[in-house]
């Protein structure tokens, strides 16, 4: 497939009407947390965007990120947007293998040198090149070679963005994120374990329409990661009122109160789960009654137990929050600072989580 057609032309060729296109633009505008009034600008820019050539490299990963994107149900606009890029190399999805697959990658690089988009999922082992190779090429060599001609790199998933689970202590393979090896290219981090499918396509849409997006300190697009789970959570008003579940089966849990005391990392986690949701918009973890694990944050696996080490408040949060009903944001900032201290402490004195921890956390 050769790039050339615009996204608008490609979608029309697939039988998408203007109304269908506007509908998608309305949904993506909402997801990017843009005001509804910017719908026209989003639609105009997306329609005129040219299809980019995309090379997708998978390193130390579980394929969950690719699954997240491709298992979204058939005939959704996400799939059509995915079709609107020219995916020239993806070794999990392509039919070719071995030398023929590598030839496709080299051809795509040659034809679009300096202009193609490189998507990476998985971390890169640098302790020993032999830990992960593709067609006899080490992950590190393949990344360095392919990144050289890329216009930009999208690190999809927490492994590519921050090292993720392969880099969790003791990190036997010396796993590192893309940003540790590539320092001379724009890198967009799209973390999550896995990332939300519509966020992956949304980042591509944003890149196509407005170019390189504004990023936060962790390299994540502000449009999707600009607000914490906590700020967009439908349980947030209970936090502001000091109404918390103290265990997974108490009255508070049944009434859907805030899961903060059960270890929820919503206040320190930046992602779009609370608005984009999962499983075709069914719900997100907090809506299913479970605290957020913070999977889109660096070192989420090494910050102590999910059920109390990081988030069990040692200060009198309950009382403070009651008085904060009118000034939730201020208290929220204070709590955020407390969290950061806990997180640093937990990373410094990392301890393994046992079943007892989970039982203990659940019993609290």
Partner 1 sequence: MDEVGAIAIEIEPTVATTGNVLPLLHELHHALLRFRDDGSEHCIDVNSLPLSEQDHRQLESVLGRGEVHARLQALGDSEITETRIPGIWRVIHANADGAVVGRFLEVTACPSILKTQQPDIADGIAHLQRLIDELPGEDQ
Q: Which residues bind partner 1 (CB under 8 A)?
A: 12, 16-20, 22-24, 26-27, 29-30, 33, 35-37, 73-77, 198, 232-238, 254-256, 274-275, 280-282
Cβ proximity to partner 1, 287 vs 302, nearer residue: 287
3-state secondary structure of 352: coil
**Structure tokens given for 46:** 């997306």
- Tell me whether residue 15 or residue 114 sits nearer to partner 1 (CB atom): 15
DSSP 121: E
Residue 211 contacts by C-beta under 8 Å, 6 or more apart in sequence? none
Task: Select from 165, 167, 101 the least CA-distant residue to 136.
Answer: 101
- If DSSP codes are grouped into helix, strand and coil, which group holds residue 138? strand
Whole-number Å distance between alpha carbons of 294 and 135: 35
Task: Compute the least distance from the CB of residue 68 to partner 1, in Å.
Answer: 15
Q: What minimum distance in Å lies between the beta carbon of 121 and partner 1?
A: 24
Query: How would you list the strands of the sheet with 150-156, edge to edge?
Result: 86-90, 53-58, 116-121, 150-156, 187-190
Q: Would you say 18 or 351 has its CB closer to partner 1? A: 18
- On the CB side of 65, CA atoms within 13 Å amount to 32
Q: How far apart are CA 146 and CA 222, in angstroms?
A: 26
**Comparison of 104 and 335: residue with beta carbon closer to partner 1:** 335
- Where does residue 284 rank: exposed (0-12), middle (13-18), buried (19+ CB within 10 A)? buried
Rounded to a whole number of angstroms, the minimum distance from the CB of residue 26 to partner 1 is 5
**Taking the complex as a whole, how short is the minimal distance between the CB of residue 201 and partner 1, in angstroms?**
12
Question: C-beta of 179: minimal distance to partner 1 in Å?
Answer: 30
* 238 or 300: CB nearest partner 1: 238
94 or 227: CB nearest partner 1: 227
Q: Which is nearer to partner 1, 16 or 338 (CB)?
A: 16
- HSE-CB for 346 with a 13 A CA cutoff: 22
Give min distance, CB of 329 to partner 1, in A: 13
Minimum distance, C-beta of residue 335 to partner 1, in the bound complex (Å): 17
Q: How far is the CB of 343 from partner 1 (least distance, A)?
A: 25
Q: Which residue has the tokens 């009654």?
A: 289
Residue (2 or 255) nearer to partner 1, CB:
255
Backbone angles phi and psi of 56, in degrees to 5: -115, 120
Lookup: tokens for 88 = 């020239």
Q: How far is the CB of 103 from partner 1 (least distance, A)?
A: 36
Concatenate the DSSP letters of all residues of 68-119 into one string. Answer: HHHTSPTT-HHHHHHHTSEEEEETTT-S--HHHHHHHHHHHHHHTTTTEEEE
Whose Cβ is closer to partner 1: residue 238's or residue 248's?
238
CB-count exposure of residue 271 (10 Å: 0-12, 13-18, 19+):
buried
């Amino acid at each position: 497939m050769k790039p050339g057609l615009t996204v608008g032309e490609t979608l029309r060729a697939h039988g998408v009407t203007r109304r269908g296109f506007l509908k998608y633009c309305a949904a993506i505008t909402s997801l990017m947390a843009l005001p509804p009034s910017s719908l026209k600008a989003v639609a105009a820019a997306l329609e005129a965007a040219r299809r980019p050539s995309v090379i997708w490299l998978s390193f130390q990963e579980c394929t969950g990120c690719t699954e997240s994107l491709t298992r979204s149900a058939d005939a959704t606009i996400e799939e059509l947007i995915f079709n609107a890029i020219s995916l020239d190399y993806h070794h999990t999805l392509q039919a070719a293998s071995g030398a023929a697959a590598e030839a496709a990658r080299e051809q795509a690089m040659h034809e679009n040198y300096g202009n193609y988009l490189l998507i990476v999922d998985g971390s890169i082992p640098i302790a020993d090149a032999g830990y992960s190779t593709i067609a006899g090429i080490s992950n590190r060599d393949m990344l360095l070679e392919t990144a050289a001609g890329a216009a930009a790199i999208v690190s999809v998933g927490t492994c590519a963005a921050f090292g993720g689970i392969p880099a969790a202590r003791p990190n036997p393979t010396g796993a590192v994120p893309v940003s540790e090896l590539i320092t001379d290219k724009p890198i967009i981090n799209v973390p999550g374990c896995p990332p939300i499918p519509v966020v992956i396509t949304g980042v591509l849409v944003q890149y196509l329409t407005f170019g390189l997006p504004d990023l936060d300190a962790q390299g994540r697009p502000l449009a999707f990661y600009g607000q914490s789970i906590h700020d967009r959570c439908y349980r947030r008003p209970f936090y502001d009122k000091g109404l918390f579940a103290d265990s997974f089966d108490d009255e508070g849990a049944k009434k859907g109160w805030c899961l903060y005391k059960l270890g929820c990392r919503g206040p320190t986690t930046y992602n779009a789960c609370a608005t984009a949701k999962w499983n075709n918009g069914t719900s997100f973890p907090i809506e299913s009654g479970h605290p957020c694990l913070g999977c889109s944050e660096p070192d989420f696996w090494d910050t102590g137990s999910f059920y109390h080490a990081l988030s069990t408040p040692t200060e009198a949060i309950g009382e403070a929050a009651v008085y904060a009903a009118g000034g939730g944001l201020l208290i929220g900032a204070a709590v955020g600072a407390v969290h950061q201290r806990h997180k640093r402490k937990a990373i410094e004195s990392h301890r393994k989580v046992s079943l007892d921890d989970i039982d203990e956390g659940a019993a609290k």
